[in-house]
Structure 1
């Protein structure tokens, strides 16, 4: 191997090493961000009477991917069938758990006594919920929204009283995990408000 070729090989090796070192440093210093829904919005000063006095609320169910702390996003404009996760951002708890707690909180704020299934007595109305979608979705390279699709079913005495699907989209203020987290929190609050309005229409369950 002549001198010129040796120098070229050495320079290439040193360049590759420097690049790997730079990537490693970037990964270590990028840090991880953890998000939740923040405090629940304060209830309105003047509230209507609660739609019912007592309600049993089961834990929200959904696909296995929502039973982890990963934050998912989707590029609907270029690759709509692929759900991706943010590398350095995560939820503080699973989306299933966070949505459960948020909706229970909003129901309690309205004046409903919220009970778990372990505390339920026979004859109490039961609310069951399932998430079909909970994603930060990009509909273009410059616009995105947080979407929650939640199906709620109300039972009374083992009888289905009514079922409603809440499909909430909230525009994200920023095109990143922080913007997606805020948008999904607002979509969850909107779904909870819609759920209260829906429950108020079911007059037969008022006690």
Structure 2
């Protein structure tokens, strides 16, 4: 005659921890599978041109040097700043990057916007005598959060215009655009909008400078 024998207390002690470990491993695997997919951002397609500057006032040709700025902007990492928590600290997005460095993206966008306005864009190596030279240095390029759900893309730059190695004028421009979403995608779109607004500001300013050397 067979008798039912219940598992010993020692067996039960070994089986329960093993079951908990298996459940924990399955949970971690589920979390890993739900990690956000990496994404790369740029400034998107070039918007339609805005006719805000008189055609006769714009320079016919412009020498544009590549945009310069801090070393932190010479990287594809996307950063943000929490103004409400620690305004002195920049934090990187874990899964999101720029397709190029912010300095490269700004250089491409500004040159494209100037060319779109009907101005011939020349490289420093192709500069003609007497052509205006534009140098742009970025002082700020950031997605800043004023709260956990609200952020904006802000750009501040200093532009210097030269002709025949002489400074014609220098001015600081700043633009800020609200982000539609509190994430990397919203920040990328806001910074693109701010760069387009700065392009219009630069063109309007260049139109006020002497059209030819005296």
Residue 66 of structure 1 is matched in structure 2 by: 73
Q: How do residues 67-86 of structure 1 correspond to structure 2 at under 5 angstroms?
A: 67-86=74-93
Note the residue ranges of structure 2 that are not aligned, 5 or more in a row: 1-8
Residue 14 of structure 1 is matched in structure 2 by: 22
User: For this pair of structures, how many residues does the alignment match?
Assistant: 205
Distance 2:213 2:61 in 1: 9
Distance 2:197 2:34 in 1: 38
| Shift in Å, 1:45 | 5.5
Residue 110 of structure 1 is matched in structure 2 by: 117
Q: 1:24 aligns with which of 17, 21, 32?
A: 32
Distance 1:160 1:12 in 2: 72
> TM-score of the superposition, structure 2-length normalised?
0.86
Query: Cα distance 1:85–1:195, how it changes in 2: closer, same or farther (>3 A)?
Result: same
2:141·2:153 contact (CA, 8 Å) conserved in 1?
yes
| Shift in Å, 1:46 | 7.5
Note the residue ranges of structure 1 that are not aligned, 5 or more in a row: none
1:53·1:206 contact (CA, 8 Å) conserved in 2?
no
SS, match of residue 149 in structure 2: coil
| Shift in Å, 1:101 | 1.1
2:144·2:152 contact (CA, 8 Å) conserved in 1?
yes
Distance 1:46 1:163 in 2: 21
Matched, 1:98 2:118: no
Q: Structure 1, residues 87-133: CA drift from partner, whole Å, max 9, x if none?
A: 22222222111111111111112221110112113332211111122
> TM-score of the superposition, structure 1-length normalised?
0.89
SS, match of residue 43 in structure 1: coil
RMSD: 2.1
Residue 181 of structure 1 is matched in structure 2 by: 188
Larger radius of gyration between Structure 1 and Structure 2? 2
| Shift in Å, 1:186 | 0.4
Residue 195 of structure 1 is matched in structure 2 by: 202
Distance 2:53 2:161 in 1: 22
Distance 1:46 1:198 in 2: 11
1:52·1:206 contact (CA, 8 Å) conserved in 2?
no
| Shift in Å, 1:157 | 1.5
